[in-house]
Structure 1
Amino acid sequence: MTSPATGPVAAAIAARLTADLAPSHLDVINDSAHHAGHMGDDGSGESHFTVIVESLAFVGLSRVQRQRLINTALSDLLQTSIHALAIKARAPGE
């Protein structure tokens, strides 16, 4: 089961993606409960996420280019707070 993310890491993810990509749709889902006790679980309850992002910034970009934009926006969080990030990135109308 996934849950909407509401903690400080989730809020930071949402704020950064909103600022950098001006998404028309954004879901930040906390998947950490699925990974409790596994490698990468830091006990914070905020280590594993799925983001679903729709943005005009993705028009004409490949899947890899879209993921790179997201990874760039979250680069320091990926080094310090996020152990795993699943990305679903689409342009409007896809």
Structure 2
Amino acid sequence: MTLQSDIEEKLVAAFAPERLFVINESHLHAGHHPDITGAGETHMRVRIVSERFTGMTRLARHRAITELLRPELDAGLHALAVEPAAPGEAVRW
């Protein structure tokens, strides 16, 4: 299994999203740190729409996702961009 698929599975289980995109953006960050070559899975973007975010602040949504993915961050995921929304909210994607 890949890190990307692991992240997708965890998000589905925790948030039952209506829409979910986990995008590997590692190739966009090659060379910005000596250990980051652009290969692998170091930079991920999560775009998620879930009913569970209704009534939550943007910060609370980010915290919920970050805490869920804390093991991945501790294990070497260098960057995680999060774009959460509740159903009916405008998204830029």
Taking structure 2 as the reference length, the TM-score comes to 0.87
Q: Indicate the RMSD between aligned Cα atoms, in angstroms.
A: 1.6
Moved over 4 A (4+): none
Query: Do 2:17 and 2:49's aligned partners in 1 also have CA atoms closer than 8 Å?
Result: yes
Q: How much identity, in percent, do the aligned residues show?
A: 41
Of 51, 54, 74, the match for 1:56: 51
Deviation of 1:42 after TM superposition, in Å, equals 6.4
- Which stretches in structure 2 are left out of the alignment for 5+ residues? none
The aligned residue for residue 13 of structure 1 is: 7
Q: What residue identity is the alignment partner of 2:59?
A: V
- The SS at the match of 1:89 is strand
Query: Do 2:26 and 2:38's aligned partners in 1 also have CA atoms closer than 8 Å?
Result: no
Taking structure 1 as the reference length, the TM-score comes to 0.86
- Which stretches in structure 1 are left out of the alignment for 5+ residues? 1-6
